[in-house]
Structure 1
Amino acid sequence: MKNTLRFKRFIKSLLTLIVFGQASVYAQPAIQWDRTFGSNGREYFESVKQTPDGGFIAIGHSESGKSGDKSQAGYGGTDIWIVKMAADGTKQWDLALGGDQGESNGYIELTPDGGYIVGATSTSGVGPIKSQPPYGTDFEEMYDYWIIKLSASGTVEWDKTIGGPRREFLKSLKPTKDGGYILAGVSRSPIGNDKTKAPLAYPNSYDLWVVKLSSSGEVQWDSVLGTDNYDDGGGYIEQTSDGGYILGGYLSVELNYPGDYYIAKLNQNGALQWEKTYGGPDYDQLESVLQTNDGGYLLGGWSYSGIGGDKSEASNYNSDYWIIKVDANGTKLWDKTIGAGLPTDNSDEVNNVSQLHSMTKTSDGGFLLGGSSYGSIGPDKSEPSRGKEDFWLIKIDANGTKLWDKTLGGIGNDDMNSVELSADGGIILGGTSNSTKSYDKSENSYGGDDYWIVKMAPENPPLPQNPIRINAGGPEFMTATKKLFIADKYYAGIDRISSIATGDIPNTSNDILYQSARCSPSFSYNIPVPNGEVTVYLHFAETYFGAPGKKGGKGSRQFHVNMEGVRKLTNYDIFAKAGGAMLATAETFTVNVTDGMLNIDFLTGAADLPRVSAIEVLPSPQRTLTFAPEEDATVRDGIYQNQNFGSDPLLSIKGFNGTPRDLQRVSYLKFAIPGITNVKSAKLRVYGKNHENMEGVTLVAGGVLDDSWTENGITKANAPYALNPAAEARVQVNSEMKYRDLDVTEFVRLQAAGDKVVSLALSTGSIRLLNFHSKENPSGFAPQLVIVTDNTANQVTRLGSESEEASESNTALSSVIYPNPAKDHIMLEVSSGHKSEVDLELTNMAGMQFQLQRPETEDNSTRLKVGLPGQLQAGMYLLKVQSREFSEVLKVLVTE
């Protein structure tokens, strides 16, 4: 047995190597476009963000004059340089910000009014843009935080210089939930000017310095954090879900001291709640910190350390990405070291540097890690270096397991500083590049270092286009419906098959598949597939126990089946499940594959040996489809009840609750969903916020059965009635501008089975005004209906139903209900596709089931009179009609 397990591991490892390249290619998102922005000097990129109009805005600093993409002359020294792009990366405008000396770095975030807040480090005096002088008393100490508020078009609205008597360097800036801003960086100033807290470090050493600003840029409080015996660096800050802050940095900037990661948790007023350090035996530098969905934190940076201290894995040759997961109190849960192989152009370890600079959360609970790497393939890097230093993007799951990685670059040096998700589910990357047009870089440089922006498609790994079908224990075989089962392969373990020469197998026209089988005490199938969900279909027939001339029956064969290490069948009895010997049966499973290999293990159970006749592995049949509204409009009550607001850029929602009826507003949306069947889930997505304050307000979505309304004709006076929403069709809306998702699955499922048009009404019981983008909004971010369909039943080979009778049942007309609307009973005309007795099940839109009275047969057996329960409230209900042949769902509207 031990040798069998060793052989199985060897086979899996070998097959993993064979398909690794193919599987990783499937997993990586594709490049949609890339853009190079620069001038005649040097530009150093810092970050890129998506804008409300669907475009992007990039920031960094520039040493260039007016040339290339830079439309303004420099102000003196280096300037902050901003580039605004359209959705396709085309430059729309650029802006230089600076003073008579120098500005460096550059950080930008969106503000609730559609504008921007910009932060930088400045050494300049007063204007033309900078309105305040530096705080330092001599030239060497004139380094301050500089904050600039811009309009959506890039006009300067105000600026603030923030600092102490000596040096400050800004490292991050974020908007806060109260409309203000939080700044973080380092300072070596004593108390004075904006700095109210004494330094912790000895003279000339740096502390972490956090400053909270109001919405107008006024200092509200500041905090000094870090260590008291050596330098602190960084200053990466995020607001946490409790209204406080998490601050990240690192120790030992200028001293000859091994560095460590440092994080501090602050409350909403800047008071320290706890602080922690993490490190290995050598130098480690934190570059990013995120709060995770479980309330803990992910720390990311780079490390030269081997195993020791908090580091459980050694670095590969030189520096590597190092990530640490901690809980809500800072207790370490795990750490991961992710590194590359030696550069192909230089075997010296010195050049093998991989450094993480940016992280972001993904919608599936994982993370994207962005930085740069000089190394080649291995240990964690799947693609070779393009030239020298490259962008290196890595996707990990919530537990730190690497899912895929992507190398991007040109022939020169490309250093990624920023990774963000885009509104379309894709990824936007940015960094500094001196590469010419080569490899992944489609445009030439301007002669020095430039901004390089890369847009990647949504991460949606394609699964196999052709199903994998295996005739276990038998030869290649083509079914009557032209489905090819390949000869037995991908198996490991005890090699034994069982077969019979002849024998009729009821329930199928493909007897040959069941006349042979793989059957031994322990065996497995290790099938190479790209990562993701697959549908696995196992075919069985008991051709020995209970077969003609053989003893035994129920209980004679019982075995286990595991998939991806998880038990799927326990003491499975083919005879019992199929209803006897020589009968075909099957089991279907959905399995998530994460390592490029589907593992199916057949293990001995309570009796005799495991047995399988055929295996099918099909790509997940789920599809995600996004629909834009054909019509949307707001209706208002009171004096506005006859007025149409169909062309407004906003969909507004406001409750009544005793306020003047003139203020009440409800919004309607209509989507056409032609051809949609088998709805697995459906979400209405609307982009907006609570317009009046920061509190959370409940937004609800109700289904509308009357689709005759029009965008330019609907008013409150003629608006159709909306059904009461299900509990899931509700979401909290606060002052944060973002997409909100409402689960409308049940109503969309009903409409997909009917007229293929979905009308929905948005309302609230609150007196607070909620505003969302309509399809006419010039900034984009229109409403969306996102539907996931699942056609598993249609894709799996129905080997037991390949007959004329089954074909007829699938194409039969659906059953008919009348009267509809109904009051106390319905008449059900049963479809001719139902050959056997039907079962009826009545459910409301919230999922509650109701007991139906026993149907009465009318003049023939296909017409039933069904009494409705007396306690039914008026509304929409779903009637499920099910027989052995098939099931269908019909909608019933009940009136009072």
Structure 2
Amino acid sequence: MKTFLTQSPSGPANFAVLLFACTLCISLFSLPVSGQPAIVWDKTLGGTYIDEARAVNPTSDGGFIVAGISYSGAGADKSQAARGNADYWVAKMRANGTKEWDKTFGGTGIDNLVTVQQTTDGGYILGGWSESDAGGDKSENDRSGTTGTRGDYWLVKLSASGARQWDRTLGGTSSEILKSVIQTADGGYIAAGTSGSPVGADKTNPAIGTGISQDYWIVRLTANGTKVWDKTLGTTDWDELGGMDINEQGGYTLIGLSRGTASGWQILKLSTTGIVQSQRKLAHSVNGYISEIHHTADNGYIVGVRTEPQSLGYQAVKLDAAGDQVWEKFFRGVNHQGTSNSEQLTSIIQAPDGGYLLAGYTFSDAGRDKSEDHRGEEDFWVVRLGADGSKHWDKTLGGSRQDLAFAITRVADGSYVVAGTSFSGAGNEKSENARGENDFWIVKLDSGAGKPMLSFSASQLNFTVNQGASAPPQAVMLAALQGEPALSLAKSPNSSWLVLPQASTGTLSFGINAGGLVPGVYTAEVTASAAGYVSAHFSVSLTVLSTSKGTTVRINAGGNAFTTSDGRTFSADMYYGGVNRVHSIPSGDIIGTNDDGLYRSERSSATFSYNVPVKNGDYMIVLHFAEIWFGAPGGRPLQLRQRLFNIDLEGYRIYTDYNVVAHAGAPMKMTREVFPAIISDGTVNLGFSAGAADLPTLAALEIIPLAEFSTELELPVLADATVRDGSFANQNMGTLPVLDVKSGPGDGVNRNTYLRFSTLNLSDIYAARLRIYGNNAEAGTNVNLSVYGVDNDAWTETGITWNNAPQGIAAADGYVNVNSTQDFYEVDVTRYVRQQTETDRLVSFVLKNPTAKNRRLAFDSRENTSGNAPKLIVVTREGFSDTYRKAAAAENTALNILPAEAGSIILPNPVAGTFRVRVSDQHHGKTSYRAISQSGQEVIPLESSNMDVQTRETEISGQMLRTGLYLLKIQSESAAETLKLMIVK
């Protein structure tokens, strides 16, 4: 869109420009002075399977120690083999994020690490719970024996180099789950968690409750791991220990939640010998699970709570020294429906200035307390508070998939390290590819304390250029809030095409140099930095259009860049307009696809559009949908017609009240719609607007040149041979230059021809036909040549005879009448070729005359010098995962209702006037053709030149149809199917 202002400089136009500039400046300079922290670095660590970082703490050399659980064997970043099911995995890291060493510890079962700390001797204490018996690195059996519920505390002491010095198993005859282990002033350890055991094994006190209950269990150990004493504490109800810390008297403070008649938070203070000095109940505003408790500098406590329901967000509660509440704060974002989404607080620590840092994960968008939209499915979310609980800043960190933060700590240089697990590859804040299914992900943030911000006036620039051409530069404003810093600009790797300006505040002009770039979509990120300032970022996309053909464009609507299992690359969301609102879910199986992540995010608002630049030409537009709200986990219950919206393509309404669930068949199931489009103005225009119910959505879109969408390939025959009965039944004729087909009475009259082809590497065959060259060599009459599929591909060209030839299937796949004219003859074999492509990808046929005409049909073999050997002509479609269509076909088999695109083809499509329909071989007998408009009105039956399916191709007059999209319904005596028909003028 271009706007022209023609008034004089003193008139309204100049005032409008001035007003825009002032508004822009006000919006830039009204941002908070204390900004988000910069990412110093991020690191991915993992084996080849599942790895989750659960704890991180600083070390005395300025580095840190990170630990968690691992299901991986040796490989990638993991140097040691797995011990059992799940193991402890610990990595010592240098200050710059490089790995110093890693160690694996485990028994033969499940070992679940929850904490790691450096000890005063420079070594480390690992704590968690284990279901393993002795074996591997575990020296003692589970205490429950063979009858109780398994699970004990398991502590492992390491030297400074990571060597195991000792391990201790602590438990009763039922299950124990460790929450915390801390080194005490005398070099020993205090371990705390929950226990469901009575007296027995290491447990000296009986359970407090009766029936199904659990208690707090605290164990004091010496420096070498010998047990000194243990205490069972709690109420008569179900007690869940939230955390433990050493208090100002050197004793221990425990906080937990009791559920039952004595429901509430419990705070207990113990002496160094385990004597209860005080115990009190606190009122609390929500149910939930206590993530952590820490002693604060004012001798009070800070408590982090994982709330129930999750929509209440992070909860932080400040207690004074007596355990009374000082303040309570909640922090949350919003989703696309305007209601709060799920936040899970997992870690909380105090900052040197008396404030606090909260870490966990969320899939909320910006709003309420959250300043940034989600990145992928779930993201790390860090929130910085002042001493009074007021929010200073928040930071969202994530890749394209699920990223869960479990711990945060402050390291020696004042920066913060947050650790968790990531399912994401490189993208957004994540700089490295995944190692396995999920990995440790560690991010270092600078403190951000008191730093002013840099800010760009736009979040994205989009360039479009023809291959080999240039494009005018585009401008963005850069503002430094406070002062005049020495600025620098940087761009992401592999973006040499982007030309950066000289760094300065004010208007910056960004250019491109597309020379040498092949057609496609390119993206880059620009970062503005200055010492003492929080950096600013924005993204740039470049679409290079081919001068000779169209360029394929794929966009992940509402999401980040995504590569499908079959190698298609979707760019992050771009070229959209309207209300900027997206929705995503963190997990869940999307039926009908291996690419669940593509459908777990969507653009969704009352009205939005896509205006995508392309080279003029013919395209196929593919729209991807899945209902991930109504009837989906975490969404609203499914009812009839809950989401109905309209879709426009190039200004024409192609769907009114489109219903995703109706087309997909269920929630959480993918579906796609394919439409032809003729582009003459250089832009594909798509519009989505609210219909009769709720909001429109879109998961992804593809714009594919028609020539690339379907390609015709000629597959050469791999083997061909004639077999003959009677006295010739044991003779092989595989090397002859002519292939014969004949049937009738007499010795050696019957002859069949066998052919074999390969469809290897062809994943989506739209249509297939067998082409052979020859004639009726004995008479001028038409002779039926029928083609039958052969399931047994074991025959060989030089070994096959009439006696050992495999049998064909009972029904012919197709036929053609052959006359005396030497010519190419074709038979539609789509059904059988598709079937074989789903199995061994070898396709064999036998050619016969079933009518016993006693006429010889002769065709050129691959040994013939004419070059007219048999060929299999296949039409392949652009590489979609075909799971969805196969499932639909299976569902419709009983009704004999063919799934969309079952084999019939409209030529050409889009249509202007008369068109042809190449009819699927599954139609037989009298056939009718009807067009249904998008409003559901039926057009008069179309006039067809051939109403009885014989030639499999018929011409239809479409002159009465107005411009727009129609559904062409084909009904024969044997089947019914529906195709999309686009009429243009």
Q: What TM-score, normalized to structure 2?
A: 0.42
Larger relative contact order (Cα-Cα within 8 Å, sequence gap ≥ 6): 1
Q: What TM-score, normalized to structure 1?
A: 0.47
